[in-house]
Structure 1
Amino acid sequence: MPLPYPRPDFVRSSLRWKTLDGPWDFIFDDDDVGMDRCWPRGLPDEVALKDRSAAVETSSQAQTITQNIAAGTQELIKDNTHVKSSTETVNRRRTIQVPYVYQCPASGINEREAHSVFWYSRTFLDIRTEEEKQQGLRVILRFGAVDYDARVWVNDFFIGRHGGGHVPFEWDVTPYLGKDSSEAHRLTLRIFDSSDSLHQPRGKQYWGAKPESIFYTPSSGIWQSVWLEVVPPTRIADSSNGTVLRSNDIEKGQLYCHVFLLNRPHQQECRVQVEASIGNVIVAEVSGQTSGSREAVDLILNMRLSEKELSQLPLSIREAGPLDNSRCWRNGLALWTPEHPLLYEVTIRLFDCQSAALLDEVTTQVGMRSINWSAGDGLWRLNDRPYFQALCLDQGYVPSTFMTLNDDAVRLDIELAKAMGFNGCRKHQKVENPVFYYWADKLGYLVWAEMANAYDFSREYAEAFDHEWVQAVKLAINHASVVTWTPINESWAYNSLKDSEEEQNHIRHLYSLTKDLDPTRSINDNCGWQHVCTDLTTFHDYSDVEELEKTCASLDLILAPKAGRDLFVGSAKHRPGAPVICTEFGGINIAPPKQRSSDRDWGYTTASDSEDLLRRFERMVKGIAAGGHCCGFVYTQLTDIEQEVNGLYTYDREEKLPAAKVKAAIDEAIDIFNRRVGSS
């Protein structure tokens, strides 16, 4: 079933688009012969295979890395290497359902064997009307995400290559389309996705033949939507291409707009207008003009409502955020919080100065909220109030589609988390698509945004990671829900971080790179331990109840080594007064003993039954809050995923514990924190 428009956070008023999700031709290219045999001109019915009986070697380093990450808590599968099947002598062209990866059931292929090279192909029509062609409108081909290296052709023309499996990319395909709108155009992709490279950012996608421990089945190829969109030649850029809306200045009540324009001829003077409204009440409207060759226009909007405007708000807004509630409104400014996610609608218009013609119009949403982590009192603040972040670890997998969640599934996961009392998530080892951020904004859900990591360091890795991380930040930068950036988890890829100046310097570089892009959010440089340059002191502790309670009651124990690693490395150290947050704990499963084996039923510790799990959960969350040092936590995890069965919900999103009881425990932990800091 096709997904809805993939960018609900950036919608053109005259939106003309066509999804390319659905059936595509697909073929594996295990001997990598497709380029030599000109497959961009058409995929073959089948291709003969060379001998495939040999195992793909998995390095001893890969096995060591797995063991180190698993921390010796469970025996790993022996000889867990990819072995090519010798029964097939050919690969045949077949049909795949895009945007689902070939490894998952929804793709229609559902094959788990490793294939590093494979091809997609389908046809499409020019979706422009004849009038739109005459007006010079363009056709943009957009990909939500393709893992990992994609080469793309339209007809026989190579249009580009994109490396990086987790962020969007696009090309203008207008030059490759003929004048005849009825002519079918062939779109072809060649994908390379290494099954075992440790230098490739891959997140939780495992390099072994069978997923184990905390690692999962790989997701190769197209895994987010593909679509065509008709756009004006000179147009407003989305956040990935440079438009930034900074909504953190609640003291002045101002929205700072950096509107970037694409493909504006230098001789064309344009005017940008930005209008903000809430509940159909227009709050502000400001215009600015382009200057010379500069491709951006900077504008400031006053987002406060007058008494008259407040009186005109519809009942739906006043019920969502009562006007007499200081957590919802401040001097006429609507505030965004997880409890009251008030949003402004922002419309950006682009006009030609000479003709006054409307060239482009885009609608998005912003939430006005501020974040402060540097007051020096150990607290993290939202809208100037101490705020306890009760987060869950959310990895965004579902059984039938893996990392590809449709609109309903995205919304459901947020609602399930909030039903248990969580006010946000640490989105772990996955760059989510804009649909997720859209719903996090609307439903009120804090997000720590994270990048999919690699597992071994090299200069080539660092260059690729930098490029993709920048794009991941740009993708989410305009969303109020996103409050913290986390480029690295647990030193993954940085196996010599303690002693390597090169690796430490790259962490410092990532911090500076992120801060240059966005100085308004906190940065968690290397989540869990071995911090190099960070705004937050985060630690991971999967100890059982008593040990965790003891640790959280002592700053010295919090700052002590975790899993055999120092909490800070090099010259770095905990900054007195920096917020301290336990960003992984729990990980408790309750699977029956008869289902346990060396490669299934993963959990850091095991509860005897659901009542035991609830008792442990209650003590842990209260112990973290009552210890006197932490201002938040991240519980592992929201749902089970494959063999990692330590979720509060099953993989099919069924409760393991009554949501109301989990929420009661979290609410009490938040109350403990609020009493400690004198907040209400």
Structure 2
Amino acid sequence: MHEPSHVEPTGPSSPQVHPRPQLTRERWENLSGVWQFAHDDDNRGLDARWYEHADAFDQHIVVPYPPESRASGVHATGYHPVVWYRRAISIAPQDRAGRALLHFGAVDYRAQVWVNGRLVAQHEGGHTPFTADITSVLTAQDTQDIVVRAEDDPKDLAQARGKQDWELEPHGIWYHRTTGIWQPVWLEFVPRTFITTLRWTPDSERGRLGLHVRLNQTPAEPLRVRVRLSIRGERLADDTYLLEGREVRRDIEIDPVRFKADRKELLWTPRRPNLIDARITLLDDDDNVVDDVGSYAGLRSAGVRDGRFLLNGSAYYLRLVLAQNYWPDSHLAAPSEEALRREVELVKELGFNGVRIHQKVEDPRFLYWCDRLGLLVWGEMANAYVFTPEAQRGLTREWLEVLERDYNHPCIVTWVPINESWGVPNLEGDAAQRAFVRSLYHLTVSLDSTRPVIGNDGWEVVEGDIFGVHDYALDGNTLRERYGSAEALEHTLKAVQPSRRNFYLAGHHRKGEPVMLTEFGGLSHAPTQKDRWWGYGTVPDTDALLNRYEEIVTAVLDSPVISGFCYTQLTDTEQETNGLLREDRTPKLDTNRVRAINTRVSMALQNDVIAEIHALADERRREQLRASQQMEGVAED
């Protein structure tokens, strides 16, 4: 495929990682770069049929950067609720034999897409992907015209908008808006019958990998699916299954002897992010290849039991950092693929084993690097701000798409559909809002029972597998008083109410769920630009910041009843200056010192280890006693 001569793509280079890393094909074309662009503040483009008229586009934009950002070349931060994009592409003759699919990673918020003047797709939801099959609208001409209309009302609080500000300029904890295209646009060439869905469900206890393959249509004749699994080049499985309809489900067993012997080398953990590479080939009766895709999976489990988070069946202490994943020059969009990888590396260098992506559904390439480099992720939905039928429908619809898109990523170990009662502002007084949170919890569990789910994180617990507490106490002594024992914890949740919100609602109480400080800290030091400062607490300089950081993190790690934490936050973002890193990702503090603080053994985990040692010792004593009694019986005989 070749660029038409009148378009000069000067934007980001073609990504090294496939934009959909869990289902890849060799034949795809990145459409990032310069597109024609137009604002439509009077909303007249539809009536004027701009999708048919190139002369309506009076600007240029670098895709996939939002027009509010500097990186886009537009940098229009005002209210522009409707924007249009246009680009001409060429498709080589050899690419017309099958089907042509036009993919959008994310367009905020409502999108319509035309190709050669024909409407080919409509989608609502600013964080999830959609695809248009454009095969039937391609012409015999050398170039094909793509036009996109994006509608994103900046004042519509029913939209799942996350931390995008509805005011003209960012205030408080909200940031500049992101409108329109902000994740990759790409073209893919597939056969007439092709694989649309790959779903991996790991069973780390038995060493099995569940597979679900689905096609775009029922084939005229039965096909076969060949599955080849390998790890670091060594074959684990090579199986073939008959596919008589559109889909097939199978459990693939790894050799039991090898799994028992090499368990640590096969299971996925942050320390050993072992990934199983997969090749899925669709074959006809004559062994001709119909379709061929690449994928990968991680053999791991995530759960909770007896007040602890479990990874692969063992207690695991979560050391998370809150990440807005927002960049000063490109907003929600990453400035480059390298920036996505570097973000993961920075989190690990600081000694965290996970990240809570806050009020954003992140680019799949970020999740790929978390899978590849070993970083746990709490997947969170971007919330709306009002409770209306439109907001409920929109959030639920988009959340279902999030669960489908990201199910396969081993790095994701927890789902969080709602944060701090955003979009459900009267949970305590409105039974309908409580029912909505419960419904999201149970809907999530029904679609993915392999991960813990938090219905509402921070306070006002209605339903959830983990109790996430937000507590911005700014000194270690207060944190020790509140979380120094099981009795202190219960008193804190019932009476202290750290965020001045009731923690338990509608008679809810703990039934052994782990308790974690899922937001705490928020420290900043005195800024040089006072008009851009915001934080939960301020210290005079970086030395004081490091000392206070050590004080409060050590207090949390010394708690025997806290099973994990999430520090606020990774980077400075807009007017928030409470990051461990500056906006440009340079560290404020000595990275080695921060890492040493974060990686200290927690009292909760230490108690678990001690208890396990005692249990093993008790079991050994019982075995010795049984053996001694048996020997006595033999002697008497």
Task: Please say if 1:371 is aligned against 2:302.
Answer: yes
Q: Distance in 2 between matches of 1:12 and 1:201?
A: 29
Alignment of 1:52-91 (within 5 A): none
Give the deviation of 1:563 after TM superposition: 2.2
Hey, what does 2:435 align to over in structure 1? 505
**Which residue, out of 177, 183, 207, partners 1:224?**
183
Q: 1:201 corresponds to which residue?
A: 160
Residue 4 of structure 2 aligns with which residue? none
Q: 2:200 corresponds to which letter in structure 1?
A: L
Identify which of 481, 491, 494 aligns with 2:411. Answer: 481
The equivalent of 1:526 in structure 2 is 456
Q: CA deviation at 1:419?
A: 0.6
Q: Deviations over 1:469-516 (max 9, x none)?
A: 011111111011000000000000111111111111111111111111
The TM-score with structure 2 as length reference comes to: 0.90
Q: How does 1:44-443 map to 2 (within 5 A)?
A: 44-45=55-56, 93-127=58-92, 129-130=93-94, 132-133=95-96, 136-178=97-139, 180=140, 182-238=141-197, 243-247=198-202, 249-265=203-219, 267-291=220-244, 294-304=245-255, 329-330=262-263, 334-352=266-284, 354-373=285-304, 375=305, 377-405=306-334, 406-443=336-373
**Corresponding residue SS for 2:548:** helix
Q: Is the 8 A contact 1:305 1:333 kept in 2?
A: no
Q: Residue 114 of structure 1 aligns to which amino acid in structure 2?
A: Y
- The number of equivalent residue pairs is 592
Partner of 2:564: 632
1:672 Cα deviation from its structure 2 partner:
3.4
Q: 1:11: how far off?
A: 4.8
The TM-score, its normalising length taken from structure 1, stands at: 0.84
* Contact kept in structure 1, 2:82 and 2:151, CA below 8 Å: yes
Q: Which position in structure 2 is the counterpart of 1:596?
A: 530
Matched position secondary structure for 1:497: coil
Q: Whole-Å Cα distance in 1 between the matches of residues 492 and 323 of structure 2? A: 24
TM-aligned CA deviation for residue 190 of structure 1: 1.3
- CA distance, structure 1, for counterparts of residue 448 and residue 342 of structure 2: 29
CA RMSD of aligned residues (A): 1.8
Q: Give the unaligned 5+ runs of structure 1.
A: 46-91, 311-322, 324-328
Q: Would you say the 8 A contact 2:102–2:188 is kept in 1?
A: yes
Question: C-alpha displacement at 1:362, in angstroms?
Answer: 1.3
Task: Give the conservation status (yes or no) of the 8 Å contact 1:303–1:333.
Answer: no
In structure 1, distance between residues paired with 2:36 and 2:18: 22
Shift of 1:201: 0.5
Go from structure 1 to structure 2 and tell me whether the alpha carbon gap of 1:674 and 1:571 turns closer, same or farther (over 3 Å shift).
Answer: closer
Matched residue of 1:656: which SS?
coil
2:606 alignment counterpart: 675
- Residue number in structure 2 paired with 1:32: 43
- 2:341 is paired with a residue of what secondary structure? helix
| Residues 143-182 of structure 1, C-alpha deviations (whole Å, 9 max, x = no match) | 000000011111121112110000000010000012x3x5
Classify 1:115/1:8 alpha carbon distance in 2 versus 1 (closer, same or farther; 3 Å): closer
Q: CA deviation at 1:572?
A: 2.5
Give the distance between the partners of 2:156 and 2:481, measured in 1 at CA: 40
Whichever residue aligns with residue 213 of structure 2, its letter is V
| 1:121-161 Cα deviation digits (max 9, x unpaired) | 1111224x33x53xx41000000000000111111211121
- Aligned CA distance change for structure 1 residues 474 and 11 (closer, same or farther; 3 Å): closer
Mark the CA change 1:117 to 1:256 in structure 2 (over 3 Å): closer, same or farther: same
Given the alignment of the two structures, is residue 657 of structure 1 paired with residue 589 of structure 2, yes or no? Answer: yes
Which secondary structure state, in structure 2, belongs to the residue aligned with residue 652 of structure 1? coil
Q: Provide the secondary structure at the position in 2 that maps to 1:414.
A: helix
1:612 deviates by: 1.4
Which of 489, 509, 520 lines up with 1:573 in the alignment? 509
Partner SS for 1:632: strand
Match of 1:540 among 470, 486, 492: 470
- Work out the CA distance in 2 between the residues paired with 1:350 and 1:677: 48
Q: Distance in 2 between matches of 1:528 and 1:580?
A: 11
Q: For residues 494 and 147 of structure 1, what CA distance do their matches in structure 2 show?
A: 22
- Residue deviations 1:44-77 (CA, integer Å, cap 9, x gap): 45xxxxxxxxxxxxxxxxxxxxxxxxxxxxxxxx
Instruction: Indicate if the aligned counterparts of 1:148 and 1:165 stay in contact, CA closer than 8 A.
Output: yes
Q: Report deviation, 1:304.
A: 4.1
Which residue of structure 2 lines up, in the alignment, with residue 551 of structure 1? 482
